[in-house]
Amino acid sequence: MITRKIEEYLRIALREAQSRGLLPEIDQIDLGIEKSRVPEADYSSTLPLRLARAAGSSPIDIANAIIVSAPKSEMIASIDVAGPGFINMRLSDVWLTSQLDVIAQNGDSFGGSNLGDRTKVQVEFVSVNPTGPLTVGHGRSAILGDVISRIMLASGYEVQREYYVNDTGNQVDLLGQSLRHHYLAAFGIDVPMPSAGYQGEYVREWAGEIIRDHADKYVDLSADEQTIIFVEHGIEIALKSIRDVLSEMDISFDNWFFERQLHNAGAIDEVISRLDSSGYVVRREGATWFTAAGRDDDGGNVLVKRTGDPTYLVADIAYHQDKFQNRGFMRVIDVMGADHHGHVPRMHSALEALGVEASALQYVLCQMVHVVVDGQPIKQSKRSGEFELLSELVADVGPEATRYFMLARDANSQMEFDIDLARNQTDDNPVHKIRYAHARIVSILRRAEQEGLLNQSAELGSLQSADIDLIRIMVRFPDIVNACARDLEPHHLPHFALELAGAFNSYYHSCKVISENQQITRDRLEVVGAVRQVLANCLSLMGIDAPDEMRR
């Protein structure tokens, strides 16, 4: 990765400046390296500004001391001081050209790293209550979780994808009662729908599936027996629906963990006992509460209700205890809706009470998705039955557009999913633009192969500034992937892909790849072949198909 190479380069320069007596010995400090915001440089460092107080010198004097001490480097063409004390660096054309071989040699693995060093990581995502089809909002967490998993795998982590199924509690009971209402109504038996039941048309359809498969088999059972059976059928139908739509988007899980497993194994009672013995449990008002960090008066900290029913919180604590202490994950990443914001500090406190470092559990909270059609938002509510189904969205705009637009915004930002733009089959639609760029390059390479131009030695001496500028973008890809893995922010991938595709399109219209000049042709085929590889790798991490051909 370039940033690591530049960091080492600047550290050598800093140590040399110190050995010459130009700068005092200073404890290790962040070098502040970032992509330059000015066209005359590729990377900048704010190191002089960070050192000024400790060194007792002006940032400009510190920058000059580092620059005069910098070693000669094949990678760095120039290093200069700018503004109030920035260090600007420009990569050399020779070094950039040499990276075409690096891209070719690494192929599909270019952009990956050993950052994770095989650390055992679990990514839990979707985990929606099995009480209805997935909505568009659920799709965002599904796609983010899947792409984070792909990024972590590419970055050297050992990753397990998991879906946590809440198959106990009030929500699934309400689903069972709602199904019972429709099932019995079909046989002329009037049973009121629960006041908080599920009203969507899908509930009537699921009841119809049960009738198709089992006829009147359950009519004469008791109400309690019926509810239990309809809960089981409802969960089964819901999970099939969930699996089907996720499969359409190439999203799968290594493990489906059912909450009932915790109850059957006595894990709920065990975790309460452990917390109690450590002084983190109080009992009052007929309920059992978790108390930590002064939040014992927070109603969200109830572990067992006055009715004796365990809460979502205690089940989740037991679930995560199982992840860390029974299954041995070193790091857990939960991708959840933004409505879990208050749940995060409780879980961190509970894990610390159980002897697990809070930092081992990370959350990615997804804000809402507003689907917009003809400029108007669509109301979404599973309980009322007014919502945009994820399956309908995927059928309408395709899995590629669905994935791209869900990824293109930071998870912390609410987003509008513009159906009209996602349907657009022109370059106004960014995912179409990116995939079309890949297909266009494949077409160029196919023609080159037909004319016997591939696999000929390229000297790369004929490359011009337009070619070098494409390479300049491509070599940033490993750093982009590293940042996505480090910060759990996959939205950088679609922006990088769009930048590279846009640069290639401009290049394609101004530079002829296959021409009468055989040397230029061979050299440029190396460049566009590398662009194809990097685009394909980026699309793969996003779970988006890289097509060989497309029709406008």
Q: Which of 474, 482, 454, 468 is nearest to 535 (CA)?
A: 474
Q: How far is residue 214's CA from residue 199's CA, in Å, rounded to a whole number?
A: 23
Element (H, E) at 290: strand 287-290
pLDDT, position 462: 81
The tokens describing 143, both together, are 């796609």
Q: How far is residue 271's CA from residue 283's CA, in Å, rounded to a whole number?
A: 15
Would you say residue 552 has pLDDT above 70? no
* Strand 120-124, strand 331-337: pairing: parallel
Find the Cα–Cα–Cα–Cα dihedral 288, 289, 291, 295, rounded to 10°: -160
pLDDT, position 445: 95
pLDDT, position 54: 87
**What number is the average pLDDT over the span 95-118?**
96
Q: Rounded to an integer, what is the distance from CA 234 to the centroid of its chain?
A: 30
Give the pTM: 0.92
pLDDT, position 42: 93
Count the Cβ atoms, other than its own, within 10 Å of residue 391: 20
521 CB-near residues (< 8 Å, 6+ apart) = 448, 453, 513, 514, 515
Q: How far is residue 131's CA from residue 203's CA, in Å, rounded to a whole number?
A: 9
What residue type is assigned to position 221 of the chain? L
Find the Cα–Cα–Cα–Cα dihedral 245, 249, 250, 254, rounded to 10°: -50
Q: Where are the domains of the chain?
A: 2-91, 96-112+426-541, 120-167+251-366, 170-248
pLDDT, position 461: 78
Q: Rounded to an integer, what is the distance from CA 70 to the centroid of its chain?
A: 38
Would you say residue 21 has pLDDT above 80? yes
The answer to whether residues 505 and 437 touch, using CB atoms and an 8 Å cutoff, is: yes
* pLDDT tens-digit readout, 29-67: 789 899 998 888 999 999 999 999 888 999 999 999 999
Would you say residue 215 has pLDDT above 60? yes
pLDDT, position 304: 95
Q: Which of 242, 233, 101 is nearest to 175 (CA)?
A: 233
Would you say residue 3 has pLDDT above 60? yes
* pLDDT tens-digit readout, 244-293: 999 999 999 999 999 999 999 999 999 999 999 999 999 988 999 998 75
The answer to whether residues 1 and 43 touch, using CB atoms and an 8 Å cutoff, is: no
pLDDT, position 388: 78
pLDDT band at 199 (very low <50, low <70, confident <90, very high): confident
The rounded mean pLDDT for the chain is 92
What is 96-112+426-541's CATH number?
A: 1.10.730.10
**What number is the average pLDDT over the span 198-218?**
95
Above pLDDT 70, what percent of the chain? 96
pLDDT, position 379: 64
The answer to whether residues 144 and 493 touch, using CB atoms and an 8 Å cutoff, is: no
pLDDT, position 41: 93
The answer to whether residues 318 and 270 touch, using CB atoms and an 8 Å cutoff, is: yes
* pLDDT tens-digit readout, 432-485: 999 999 999 999 999 999 988 877 666 777 889 999 999 999 999 999 999 999
User: E strands, 352-412, where?
Assistant: 361-366, 369-373, 376-377
Q: Which of 454, 512, 450, 500 is nearest to 475 (CA)?
A: 500
The answer to whether residues 160 and 146 touch, using CB atoms and an 8 Å cutoff, is: no
* pLDDT tens-digit readout, 329-386: 999 999 999 988 889 999 999 999 999 999 999 999 999 898 888 877 776 554 444 4
Above pLDDT 90, what percent of the chain? 84
Q: What φ, ψ does residue 31 adopt, rounded to 5°?
A: -80, -10
pLDDT, position 471: 97
* pLDDT tens-digit readout, 304-314: 999 999 999 99
* pLDDT tens-digit readout, 371-384: 888 877 776 554 44
CATH of 120-167+251-366, one of 3.40.50.620, 3.40.720.10, 3.40.50.150, 3.30.420.40: 3.40.50.620
Q: How far is residue 147's CA from residue 138's CA, in Å, rounded to a whole number?
A: 15
Would you say residue 551 has pLDDT above 90? no
Q: If you classify domain 2-91 with CATH, what class do you get?
A: alpha beta
Q: How far is residue 402's CA from residue 400's CA, in Å, rounded to a whole number?
A: 5
- Residue 494 buriedness (CB in 10 A; 0-12 / 13-18 / 19+): buried
Q: Which of 409, 383, 120, 126 is nearest to 247 (CA)?
A: 126
Q: How far is residue 48's CA from residue 527's CA, in Å, rounded to a whole number?
A: 36
Poorest-pLDDT segment among 187-191, 385-389, 504-508: 385-389
pLDDT, position 297: 55
Would you say residue 546 has pLDDT above 50? yes
Helices (H) and strands (E) in the chain, counts: 19, 15
**What number is the average pLDDT over the span 96-107?**
96
Poorest-pLDDT segment among 100-114, 219-233, 280-294, 391-405: 280-294
pLDDT band at 401 (very low <50, low <70, confident <90, very high): very high
The answer to whether residues 33 and 3 touch, using CB atoms and an 8 Å cutoff, is: yes
pLDDT, position 29: 78
